[in-house]
């Protein structure tokens, strides 16, 4: 991997995309890890009949985690995450294929920092969870 530096990093640089296809097992493990028993993530009858969602809901913070991974994998050991934010705009459901990615939008050479706009898109290409990260690259 080429060395990351704010002196050579260009605005518009695209970070590698990654596809996620959450399963009942992966959602179970995630909700176990964060100790979350919200029934919309495993109880289909409750989710569709009581909360009126069309299917089992993919956790919003799990999508947030996938957004953070776009940045941490890009950085490797060449920098650090300083700020990170995301917003869950539209729900995603079990069985959907989701795609994470990002693009560098600002580079501050003096501060050694860069800003990355992030996204989770659904199969239609709609951004359902946008995000933003500020990173500091090692000198």
Partner 1 sequence: MSNRGNGRREGDGDQGDLITPEILSWIGRSDPPRRLEVTRRDIMKYAIATEQRLEKYRRGDEAPPMFLYDAHQSLTPIEALRPDGLWVDTLLPELPLTRVMAGGIRHKYYRPITAGDRLVVTRTLTDIYEKHGTSGPLIFVVYALKVEREDGEQRVLVMEETRRRIFR
In the complex, the residues that contact partner 1 under the rule CB under 8 A are: 20, 26, 29-30, 32-40, 43, 46, 50-51, 59-62, 64-66, 68-69, 72-73, 76, 80-88, 91
User: What is the Cα–Cα distance from 26 to 78, expressed in whole angstroms?
Assistant: 30
Smallest distance from partner 1 to CB 87, Å: 4
Q: How many residues does the chain have?
A: 139
The secondary structure of 124-136 as a DSSP string is: T--EEEEEEEEEE
Residue closer to partner 1, measured from CB, 11 or 29: 29
Residue nearer to partner 1 on the CB measure, 26 or 48: 26
For 90, phi then psi, to 5°, come to -135, 145
**Least Cβ distance, residue 96 to partner 1 (angstroms):** 15
Q: Which is nearer to partner 1, 7 or 33 (CB)?
A: 33
Closer residue to partner 1 in complex, CB, 82/123: 82
Sequence-ordered list of residues with C-beta below 8 angstroms from that of 11, at least 6 positions apart, any chain: 104, 105, 106, 107
Least distance to partner 1 from the beta carbon of 118, Å?
12
Alpha-carbon distances of 34 from 25, 29, 31, 59, 133, rounded to whole Å: 14, 9, 5, 11, 23
Cβ of residue 103: shortest distance to partner 1, in angstroms? 19
């Amino acid at each position: 991997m080429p060395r990351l530096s704010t002196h050579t990093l260009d605005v518009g640089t695209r970070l590698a995309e990654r596809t996620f296809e959450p399963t009942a097992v992966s959602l179970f493990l995630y909700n176990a890890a964060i100790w979350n028993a919200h029934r919309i993530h495993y109880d289909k009858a409750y989710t569709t009949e009581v909360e009126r969602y069309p299917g089992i809901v993919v956790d919003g913070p799990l999508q947030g985690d996938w957004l953070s991974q776009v940045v941490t994998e890009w950085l490797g050991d060449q920098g650090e995450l300083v700020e990170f934010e995301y917003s869950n705009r539209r729900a995603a459901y079990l069985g959907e294929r989701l795609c994470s990615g990002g693009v560098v939008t600002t580079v501050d050479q003096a501060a050694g920092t860069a800003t990355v706009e992030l996204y989770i898109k659904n199969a239609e290409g709609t951004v359902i969870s946008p995000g933003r990260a500020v990173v500091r690259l090692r000198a």
